[in-house]
Amino acid sequence: MSAQKYLYVITKAPYSNATGIEALDAILIGASFELDVSVLFLHDGVFQLKANQNCALSDSSLPAIKQFTKTYKALEDFGVDELYVQEQSLAARGLGESDLLAPVKLVNNQSIKALIAEQDQVFTF
């Protein structure tokens, strides 16, 4: 039997909430299960992948906010197969592929529909 397909969908921007951190925890565990793991970024979720995030604060007496989004760059090494980004979410936010911190595959709604249909499990964050 081939590996089960698990898709993790992230729809929220980082830092104002713990969604990205806790999605990443789940993604890394999924990858450790030898599943066929991919991640889809929708809506404000595309901001998780924005390049040039800078956690250095103007007030250095406070501990910096953890820049957890660096982990997205390393997902490939953990066996995550693909990072998908919804084309229209990116365009609506004035972003392009070159504004992102990791290589991704741009997908339209038709491809997302096919992607979701072939999954065994879909986690939404």
Nearest CB to other proteins, comparing residues 28 and 101: 28
Q: How big is the chain, counted in residues?
A: 125
Distance (Å) of CA 20 to CA 5, 55, 114? 20, 15, 24
Residue 6: CB minimum distance to other proteins, A: 8
Distance CA 69, CA 73 (A): 8
CA distance from start to end of the chain: 28
For residues 21-50, which are near other proteins according to CB under 8 A? Answer: 22, 25-26, 29-30, 32-33, 35, 42-44
* Under rule CB under 8 A, residue 105 binds other proteins: no
Looking up tokens 């979720």 gives 45
Contact by Cβ (8 Å): 63, 39: no
User: Using the rule CB under 8 A, which residue among 67, 92, 97, 103 binds other proteins?
Assistant: 92
Positions touching other proteins (CB under 8 A) are: 4, 6, 11, 13, 16, 18-19, 22, 25-26, 29-30, 32-33, 35, 42-44, 92-93, 109, 112-113, 116-117, 119-125
